[in-house]
């Protein structure tokens, strides 16, 4: 019996769907066909690991590859580590190490101020996005915000059998000594700490003494300091009962079967955004396809799948929230909902965040 070589076995249905995808790609991506460029061997996108990479893969990268035939590789270099590499490459006229950077908006804005980002103003899918997508304090579109997220107070259900803690001050309770956690630079906790410490949110950045007093008290409770994946591990290994972390990490822990929940305490929670940007210095065809990747990431289809996997509200309005987060206090479903969060303006973060990191480091290393 003759067997067809595997690479020649192409069922009719797959052929038709593949052909349809190739024909439809320019329309879905809304590419101007006349300017389509030679396809690069791959598109490299810097990403965070764990649930973050998985969501990007299923929501954006795999569908993009299906549509264009261009493989997408995720570079999991830490966002803080890739930044100086890109800056050096652009300064030295070298091709940057990645095509698309998935970054925090604050860090992306720093790169934009340094002048190393490409303008994304010609992407068709910018149309119809929430105002939150537009970078603040910058001309044009050197980056685009892709979703928002809240830094929630995640807690072990075992430690709080009677329900969620009401205040961020629960982190200062000596009963939880060595069992509380926060990001190693304090990110996400500055605004709630300011309010929980007895200060006013409006006083940021001019008078943040209440915030630093909160951190000093927290230091006495010997918190663990870590990065995104640490929180899931710590809850899983029963190392902590309380953590200030992004909702996606707490949700991942819960989806892994850990008895973890989260809340937005009475003082409020920080709301921030992440962004996509493209470094300068790419060859013309690679820049073109990098832009198409970002454009696709902003499409309704990609936003729905990507943001639902992360449990985060997208910047494209009118999409369905994930079923488990409908009505969740930490998931703003409308623009009006955003107002109940503490949002430090990006220009303030860009100017002051580094010195706040230093301050937290000073307190925590004491």
Partner 1 sequence: MKSCRADIGTGGRSDRSFGLRLLDLAESVRAGLFPARFSVWTPYLYLLPATLITGILAIGLAEMAETSLHVLNRATFRPDPAYTLANYAAVLSKPVYLRIMLKTGFAALLVTGFTLLLAFPYAYFLVRTPHARLRRFLLVALFLPFLLGQVIRAYGWLIVLGKQGLLNAALAAIGLGPVSLIYTYGGVVLGLVQYMLPFAVLLLAPALTAIPHEVELASHGLGATPWRTFRHIVLPLARPGLVAAGVVVFTLTVTDFAMPEIMGGGANDFIANAIYDAFFQLSDAGMGAALGIVLTLFASLIVALAFLLVGVATLGHGAQQDAGAGR
Nearest to 298 by CA among 276, 327, 326: 276
Contact by Cβ (8 Å): 59, 305: yes
Interface with partner 1 (CB under 8 A), residue from 115, 131, 163, 198: 115
If one asks whether residue 224 binds partner 1 (CB under 8 A), the answer comes out as yes
Q: Which residue has the tokens 């430090």?
A: 344
The residues in 142-181 that bind partner 1, with binding defined as CB under 8 A, are: 178
Interface with partner 1 (CB under 8 A), residue from 166, 222, 324, 337: 222
Task: Give the shortest CB-114-to-partner 1 separation in angstroms.
Answer: 4
| Bridge pairing between strands 260-263 and 144-156 | antiparallel
Task: Give the shortest CB-136-to-partner 1 separation in angstroms.
Answer: 16
If one asks whether residue 184 binds partner 1 (CB under 8 A), the answer comes out as yes
Q: How far apart are CA 351 and CA 90, in angstroms?
A: 23
CB closer to partner 1 out of 201 and 357: 357
Burial environment of residue 352 by CB neighbours within 10 A (0 to 12, 13 to 18, 19 or more):
middle
DSSP states of 269-308 as a string? -EEEEEEEE-BTT--HHHHHHHHHHHHHHTSHHHHHHHHH
Interface with partner 1 (CB under 8 A), residue from 114, 158, 200, 340: 114
- A 10 A CB-CB count for 104 gives 20
Task: Give the shortest CB-366-to-partner 1 separation in angstroms.
Answer: 6
Binding span for partner 1 by CB under 8 A among 110-118, 144-152, 164-172, 194-202: 110-118
Task: Give the shortest CB-183-to-partner 1 separation in angstroms.
Answer: 9
Binding span for partner 1 by CB under 8 A among 155-163, 220-228, 265-273, 298-306: 220-228
- A 10 A CB-CB count for 4 gives 8
Interface with partner 1 (CB under 8 A), residue from 21, 28, 36, 113: 113
Interface with partner 1 (CB under 8 A), residue from 10, 14, 80, 131: 80
Interface with partner 1 (CB under 8 A), residue from 38, 66, 78, 339: 78
Q: What are phi and psi for residue 287, nearest 5 degrees?
A: -60, -40
Q: Which residue has the tokens 């929230």?
A: 321
Q: How far apart are CA 186 and CA 86, in angstroms?
A: 25
**What mask of x and - would describe binding to partner 1 in positions 126 to 145, judged by CB under 8 A?**
--------------------
Binding span for partner 1 by CB under 8 A among 73-81, 147-155, 200-208, 291-299: 73-81
Helix (H) or strand (E) holding 63: helix 62-68
Task: Give the shortest CB-11-to-partner 1 separation in angstroms.
Answer: 46
Task: Give the shortest CB-360-to-partner 1 separation in angstroms.
Answer: 10
Instruction: Please tell me whether residue 316 adopts helix, strand or coil conformation.
Output: coil
Q: How far apart are CA 98 and CA 235, in angstroms?
A: 33
If one asks whether residue 350 binds partner 1 (CB under 8 A), the answer comes out as yes
Nearest to 224 by CA among 242, 210, 212, 237: 242
Contacts with partner 1, residue ranges (CB under 8 A): 78, 80-81, 83-84, 87, 110-111, 113-115, 178, 184-185, 219, 222-226, 237-239, 350-351, 354, 357-358, 361-362, 364-366
């Amino acid at each position: 019996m003759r067997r067809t070589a595997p690479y020649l076995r192409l069922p009719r249905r797959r052929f038709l769907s593949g052909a349809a995808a190739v024909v439809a790609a320019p329309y879905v991506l809304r590419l101007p066909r006349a300017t389509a460029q030679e396809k690069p061997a791959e598109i490299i996108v810097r990403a965070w690991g764990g649930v973050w990479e998985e969501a990007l893969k299923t929501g954006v990268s795999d569908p993009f590859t299906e549509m264009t035939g261009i493989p997408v590789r995720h570079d999991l270099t830490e966002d803080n580590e890739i930044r100086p590499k890109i800056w050096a490459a652009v300064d030295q006229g070298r091709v940057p190490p990645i095509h698309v950077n998935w970054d925090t908006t604050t860090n992306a804005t720093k790169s934009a101020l340094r002048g190393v980002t490409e303008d994304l103003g010609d992407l068709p899918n910018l149309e119809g996005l929430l105002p939150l997508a537009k970078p603040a304090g910058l001309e044009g579109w050197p980056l685009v915000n892709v979703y928002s997220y809240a830094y929630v107070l995640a807690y072990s259900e075992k430690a709080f059998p009677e329900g969620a803690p009401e205040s961020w001050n629960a982190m200062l309770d000596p009963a939880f000594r060595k069992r509380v956690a926060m990001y190693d630079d304090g990110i996400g906790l500055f605004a709630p700490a300011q309010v929980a410490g007895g200060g006013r949110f409006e006083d940021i950045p001019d008078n943040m003494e209440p915030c630093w007093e909160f951190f000093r008290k927290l230091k006495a409770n010997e918190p663990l300091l870590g990065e995104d994946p640490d929180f899931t591990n710590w809850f899983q290994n029963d190392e902590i009962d309380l953590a200030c972390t992004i909702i996606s990490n707490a949700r991942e822990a819960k989806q892994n079967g850990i008895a973890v929940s989260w809340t937005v305490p009475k003082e409020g929670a920080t709301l921030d955004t992440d962004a996509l940007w493209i470094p300068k210095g790419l060859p013309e065809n690679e820049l073109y396809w990098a832009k198409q990747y970002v454009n696709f990431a902003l499409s309704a289809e990609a936003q729905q799948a990507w943001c639902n996997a992360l449990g985060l509200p997208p910047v494209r309005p009118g999409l369905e929230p994930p079923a488990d987060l409908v009505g969740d206090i930490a998931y703003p479903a409308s623009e009006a909902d955003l107002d109940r969060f503490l949002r430090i303006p990006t220009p303030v973060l860009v100017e002051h965040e580094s010195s706040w990191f230093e301050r937290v480091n000073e307190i925590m290393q004491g």
